[in-house]
């Protein structure tokens, strides 16, 4: 069909002669040994196919059932067990770690409490000492203050006592300078009246 | 001219679209003739590929898991993934009781999957493209269901055909429908896989044949061959998906039918 007619005509003779040969060579089995039927529906091949399928598939089934399936199942089971075991171990380790953390935190809390207590005690002691010292100092100061006040009062009283005499003297001097002699009794009476 | 003839006719054989026979790949050739009791039990190319599938799959599963690594190597992961994939499928569909059928479902899934995948290689024979093979596998499943169902539950297994909560008047009709649907299971199960494989391979072959036919014309034909070539590549990808999907569908339906054998009452 795709060969030119001239070429086909010249080859016609040899082609026909070689036809059978070619078919056997390429294994195309038209005609001889095969019915012209559509091969999958050719019942002549059924017994052979069923027999060989039974043999091959039967052996395949037995082989898989007895050798392959137990082996792969074993591999998967071992892996599964191993993973479960590892997970168990991991869980156990995690628990241990949790316990260690809890213990550590407990210790930390204790230590903190203890430190607070010590700090509190030290603070209290220091405060008490400071209070005592302050009280002592205040008392001493109060005493000194009282002494000073009494001394001032005494000095003031003395001074006040002296004020009359000084005024009399001063007044007498002033009067003598201004008007001459004045009696001591007059002066004292005058000073006394001014002093009130 | 005589000595050049075979080569030229060989080329014409492929180049002529009438000679690119998409059915050719499904032909069964005898490799070792074997007749027993008038029946033909010859070792054929189909049988050869069954052996290849079984040996390849068995060897892969055993060799990849031989180290029994706690941390799997890549290839060991493939085997384990296949195992767990089928195990989860069966457990979801039929519960933990269904795991007693695990070797059966696993071998069916692996056999169909590898047969489908090997069939994708050019010049390789696809075991699952023959209805008798898929039908035999489907019958294996259905017979397992029926035999196990009667063994385990006795006549209570027939409750499978009597859904609860159906009004009495409708019961005969519903039971008839249930029986028909049960009987059609092996047919639908086998035809689904067979038809998918057959159609996919014919389509691939037709497009690949276009590439060869057009390419042989030279010139414009050569340029025109690019489109079917892309088509053939894309279809190969699609067929890869179909190969996996059909193995999965076959295995899932097997699991669901086995669930009926384990728990017949709806």
Give yes or no for a contact between B116 and B246, defined as CB atoms under 8 angstroms apart: yes
The yes-or-no verdict on residue B1 having pLDDT over 50 is no
Q: Given this model, what pLDDT does residue B28 score?
A: 85
The yes-or-no verdict on residue B70 having pLDDT over 60 is yes
Q: Given this model, what pLDDT does residue A11 score?
A: 42
The DSSP call for residue A3 is: S
* Distance separating alpha carbons of residues A49 and B204, to the nearest angstrom: 24
Kindly list the distances between the CA atom of residue A107 and the CA atoms of A82, A112, A113, A116, B61, in Å, as whole numbers in the listed order. Answer: 37, 8, 10, 14, 59
How many residues are there in chain A? Answer: 196
Terminal CA-CA length for chain A: 168
- Residue B32 pairs in a beta bridge with B43
Give yes or no for a contact between B116 and B134, defined as CB atoms under 8 angstroms apart: no
Q: Choose among B40, B107, B216: nearest Cβ to A44.
A: B40
C-alpha angle B58-B59-B62 in degrees, rounded to nearest 5: 85
3-class DSSP state of B165 = coil
Quote the minimal CA–CA distance from A75 to chain B in Å: 6
* Distance separating alpha carbons of residues B262 and B146, to the nearest angstrom: 10
| Six-digit token string for A108 | 């930390």
Q: Given this model, what pLDDT does residue B19 score?
A: 57
Give yes or no for a contact between B30 and B42, defined as CB atoms under 8 angstroms apart: yes
Interchain contact, A21 vs B130, CB within 8 Å: no
Q: Given this model, what pLDDT does residue A129 score?
A: 95
* Residue B195: HSE in the Cβ half-sphere, 13 Å Cα cutoff: 6
Nearby residues of B82 by Cβ (< 8 Å), 6 or more positions away: B61, B106, B109, B110
Domain edges within chain B: 5-262
Q: How far is CA A103 from the centre of its chain?
A: 18
Residue B161's H or E segment, with its range, is none
| Six-digit token string for B262 | 């384990």
Of A56, A62, A25, residue with least CA distance to B43: A56
Q: Choose among B9, B57, B194: nearest Cβ to A18.
A: B9
A182: confidence class by pLDDT, cuts 50, 70, 90? low
| Six-digit token string for A73 | 């199942």
| Six-digit token string for B120 | 């994708």
Share of chain A above pLDDT 90, in %: 54
Quote the minimal CA–CA distance from A15 to chain B in Å: 6
Quote the minimal CA–CA distance from A50 to chain B in Å: 7
The yes-or-no verdict on residue A10 having pLDDT over 50 is no
pTM of the model: 0.69
**Torsion angle of the four alpha carbons B109, B111, B117, B119, in this order, in degrees rounded to the nearest 10:** -140
Give yes or no for a contact between B150 and B157, defined as CB atoms under 8 angstroms apart: yes
Give yes or no for a contact between A37 and B130, defined as CB atoms under 8 angstroms apart: no
B12: confidence class by pLDDT, cuts 50, 70, 90? very low
Look at A16-20, A118-122, B105-109, B123-127 and tell me which has the smallest mean pLDDT.
A16-20
Quote the minimal CA–CA distance from B80 to chain A in Å: 7
Interchain contact, B51 vs A1, CB within 8 Å: no
Give yes or no for a contact between B77 and A83, defined as CB atoms under 8 angstroms apart: no
Give yes or no for a contact between B130 and B26, defined as CB atoms under 8 angstroms apart: yes
Task: For B72-94, give the DSSP string.
Answer: --HHHHHHHHHHHHHHHHHHHHH
| Residues A63-77, mean pLDDT to the nearest whole number | 93
- Residue A83 pairs in a beta bridge with none
Q: What count of CB pairs under 8 Å joins A to B?
A: 173
| Six-digit token string for B157 | 């297994």
Q: Choose among A1, A51, A68: nearest Cβ to B18.
A: A1
Nearby residues of B212 by Cβ (< 8 Å), 6 or more positions away: B14, B15, B20, B225
Q: Which residues of A touch B47 (CB under 8 A)?
A: 48-49, 52, 56
Q: How far is CA B25 from the centre of its chain?
A: 16
Number of helices and strands in chain B (H, E): 8, 4
The yes-or-no verdict on residue A147 having pLDDT over 60 is yes
Q: Which residues of B touch A60 (CB under 8 A)?
A: 54, 57-58, 107, 110-111
**Torsion angle of the four alpha carbons B177, B182, B188, B193, in this order, in degrees rounded to the nearest 10:** 160
Interchain contact, A15 vs B58, CB within 8 Å: no
Q: Which is higher by pLDDT, A11 or A72?
A: A72
**Torsion angle of the four alpha carbons A135, A137, A139, A141, in this order, in degrees rounded to the nearest 10:** -150
| Residues B89-118, mean pLDDT to the nearest whole number | 93
Interchain contact, A57 vs B5, CB within 8 Å: no
* Distance separating alpha carbons of residues B222 and B211, to the nearest angstrom: 8
Interchain contact, A28 vs B21, CB within 8 Å: yes
The yes-or-no verdict on residue A187 having pLDDT over 50 is yes
* Distance separating alpha carbons of residues A95 and A87, to the nearest angstrom: 12
Interchain contact, B80 vs A42, CB within 8 Å: no
Q: Given this model, what pLDDT does residue A75 score?
A: 92
Look at A4-8, A145-149, B249-253 and tell me which has the smallest mean pLDDT.
A4-8
Burial B41-61 (b: 16+ CB within 10 A, else e): bbbbbbbbbbbbbbeebbebb
ipTM of the complex model: 0.85
3-class DSSP state of A181 = coil
Q: Which residues of B touch A47 (CB under 8 A)?
A: 39-41
């Amino acid at each position: 069909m795709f060969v030119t007619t001239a070429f086909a005509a010249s080859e016609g003779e040899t082609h026909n002669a070689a036809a059978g040969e070619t078919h056997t060579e390429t294994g195309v089995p038209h005609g001889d040994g095969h019915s012209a039927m559509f091969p999958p529906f050719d019942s002549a091949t059924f017994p052979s196919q069923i027999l060989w399928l039974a043999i091959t598939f039967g052996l395949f089934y037995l082989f898989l059932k007895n050798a392959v399936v137990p082996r792969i199942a074993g591999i998967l089971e071992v892996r599964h067990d191993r993973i479960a075991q590892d997970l168990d171990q991991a869980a156990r380790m995690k628990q241990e770690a949790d316990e260690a953390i809890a213990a550590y935190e407990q210790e930390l809390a204790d230590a903190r409490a203890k430190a607070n207590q010590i700090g509190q005690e030290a603070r209290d002691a220091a405060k008490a000492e400071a209070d005592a010292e302050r009280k002592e100092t205040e008392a001493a100061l109060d005493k000194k203050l009282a002494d000073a006040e009494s001394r001032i009062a005494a000095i003031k009283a003395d001074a006040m006592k002296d004020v009359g005499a000084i005024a009399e003297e001063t007044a007498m001097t002033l009067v003598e300078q201004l008007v001459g002699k004045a009696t001591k009794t007059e002066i004292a009476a005058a000073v006394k009246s001014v002093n009130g | 001219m005589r000595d050049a003839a075979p080569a030229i006719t060989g080329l014409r054989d492929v180049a002529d679209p009438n000679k690119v026979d998409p059915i050719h790949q499904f032909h069964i050739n005898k490799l070792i003739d074997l007749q027993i009791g008038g029946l033909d039990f010859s070792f054929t190319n189909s049988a050869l590929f069954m052996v290849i599938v079984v040996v390849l799959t068995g060897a892969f599963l055993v060799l990849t898991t031989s180290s029994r690594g706690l941390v799997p190597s890549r290839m060991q992961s493939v085997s384990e993934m296949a195992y767990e994939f089928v195990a989860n499928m069966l457990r979801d569909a039929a519960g933990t009781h269904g795991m007693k059928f695990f070797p059966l479902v696993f071998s069916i899934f692996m056999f169909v999957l590898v047969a489908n995948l090997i069939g994708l290689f050019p010049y390789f024979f696809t075991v699952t493209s023959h209805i008798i093979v898929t039908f035999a596998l489907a019958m294996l499943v259905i017979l397992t269901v029926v035999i196990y169902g009667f063994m385990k539950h006795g006549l209570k297994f027939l409750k499978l055909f009597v859904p609860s909560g159906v009004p009495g008047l409708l019961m005969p009709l519903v039971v008839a429908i249930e029986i028909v649907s049960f009987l059609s299971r092996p047919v639908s199960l086998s035809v689904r896989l067979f038809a998918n494989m057959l159609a996919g391979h014919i389509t691939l072959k037709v497009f690949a044949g276009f590439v060869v036919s057009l390419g042989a014309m030279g010139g414009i034909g050569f340029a025109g061959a690019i489109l079917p070539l892309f088509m053939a590549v894309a279809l190969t990808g699609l067929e890869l998906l179909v190969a996996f999907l059909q193995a999965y569908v076959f295995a899932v339906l097997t699991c669901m039918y086995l669930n009926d054998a384990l728990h017949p009452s709806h």
